Amino acid sequence: MSDHEIRVLADEEHRAANTLFRAAMHAPKAGAEDWALEARGYQPGRTLGAFDEELIGTAQSIDSDLTVPGGGTVPLAAVTRVGVRADRVRRGVLSGLLQRQFADFAERGTVAAALHASEGAIYGRFGYGVATTGRSYAVDRRIARLRPEVPSGGEIELLDTDTALDRLPRIYAGLERLRPGMLARPSYLWLSEEPFLRQADTPLRAAVHHGPRGADGYARYLVSRTPGSPVTARVVDFHAATAEAFAGLWRFLLGLDLVDVIETRSRPLDEPVELLFTDPRACRVTGVRDEIWLRLVDVPAALAARERDADPLVIEVSDPRLPANSGRYLITPDEVTRTDRPPEITLGADTLAMLYLGGWRPSALAAVGRLAAANADAERTADRLFRARRAPWCGTFF
């Protein structure tokens, strides 16, 4: 372990943290213009710095809310911009930063934390688990024909960048609870995006769908034209509250002149895009990958906040990094209480985080040794308790 101090950075230190993070990701330092925009995405008091003689590591978080199964929400910390200077890695700097975050989160009443991981082998040891999975695909616009029964959809309105920045936050706020795993997007998350939104060479477009009750979906996309390559519309943000909005936005994307391919990344696993087309192979899956990693900071509060429509079940959780979570819980439809009864399901905090939003079946995790069930009945009850009505999905990059 290295000898380092960890403290909250002052606002005027955010740029140094940003430069360190960018260097850790092998990205250049932000220019003055970009930094003027990026700085506004830093929530004051929420960026940690690790120091020996100088700044050697950083981790940031932003307050949000997470939609949980059943439609409720819990306070969430969106963790981002984590980096350690390349000459100080593997000396416990990240471990110190994350442990300090957990202490801060617990003190603030934050129930869960989430992040997008740069690599899959880092965060499990800290009690984070893969809670949602995303599917990426490419639609060949040249052969994609909509089936006749696909809804026609409502009106589409195309917004310029300034209007999008003004209106999309409010439109998204009406869509943020469509699925477990979705986040409220506080202004800091939108402001973090602004430099990207304003990229001059590939302007980002926003198409808003209007249904009978107003704006009920949108797609943000940018079109890249590289000589010798198919012209590609890359969809970077897409939400639809209704079947009509979903179909209407796809109808619009398919109508984009001069575009050959429409690419989307990290979409919900149960989104039926290929079923829109007469030839489902017009939609080619290009990847399936972990989307958000979840960490339950307050296990009893998290369990109490989600729906619990199953027979009573006793689970035993082990959480060496946040020992207050360790113990046995009796989970019933009415309440979640500590208990001394023998456990029916035994699991680590990272595995519980994987189950929490409904992204994995407990029986599947038992099959690979990630949890132990006392008997087949317990496994069946756990499968029912943690099942998902819709595939959980976040849909926000941070």
Ligand X SMILES: CC(=O)SCCNC(=O)CCNC(=O)[C@H](O)C(C)(C)COP(=O)(O)OP(=O)(O)OC[C@H]1O[C@@H](n2cnc3c(N)ncnc32)[C@H](O)[C@@H]1OP(=O)(O)O
Residues in touch with ligand X (CB under 6 A)? 24-25, 79-84, 89-95, 115-119, 121-122, 125
Environment class of 245 (CB within 10 Å of its CB; exposed 0-12, middle 13-18, buried 19+) = buried
Could you tell me the smallest distance in angstroms from the CB atom of residue 46 to ligand X?
A: 14
Residues placed in the known binding site for acetyl-CoA:
82-84, 90-95, 118-119
Kindly state the helix (H) or strand (E) to which residue 347 belongs, with its residue range.
strand 345-348
Minimum distance, C-beta of residue 265 to ligand X, in the bound complex (Å): 17
Q: Are 152 and 247 in contact (CB under 8 A)?
A: yes
- How many other CB atoms are found less than 10 A from the CB of residue 222? 17
DSSP reduced 3-state for 211:
strand
Binding residues, by number, are 82-84, 90-95, 118-119
In this structure, how many other beta carbons lie within 10 angstroms of the beta carbon of residue 374? 14
For Cα atoms 267, 380, 181, give the angle at the middle one, nearest 5 degrees: 25
Catalytic residue, chosen from 21, 42, 123, 221, is 123
Two structure tokens written together for 336: 């979640």
To the query of whether residue 188 is one of the catalytic residues in this protein, the response is no
| Cβ distance to ligand X smaller for residue 115 or 315 | 115
Q: How many CA atoms lie within 13 A of 140 on its CB side?
A: 11
Q: C-beta of 85: minimal distance to ligand X in Å?
A: 8
Sequence-ordered list of residues with C-beta below 8 angstroms from that of 4, at least 6 positions apart, any chain: 50, 51, 52, 56, 57, 88, 93, 96
Report the residue number, 94 or 302, with the smaller CB distance to ligand X: 94
Task: Please enumerate in sequence order all residues whose Cβ is within 8 A of that of 278, keeping only pairs 6 or more positions apart, or say none.
Answer: 145, 146, 147
Least distance CB 123 / ligand X (angstroms): 8
CB nearer to ligand X: give 125 or 147: 125
Is 126 assigned a catalytic role? no
Q: Where in the sequence numbering do the catalytic residues fall?
A: 123, 398
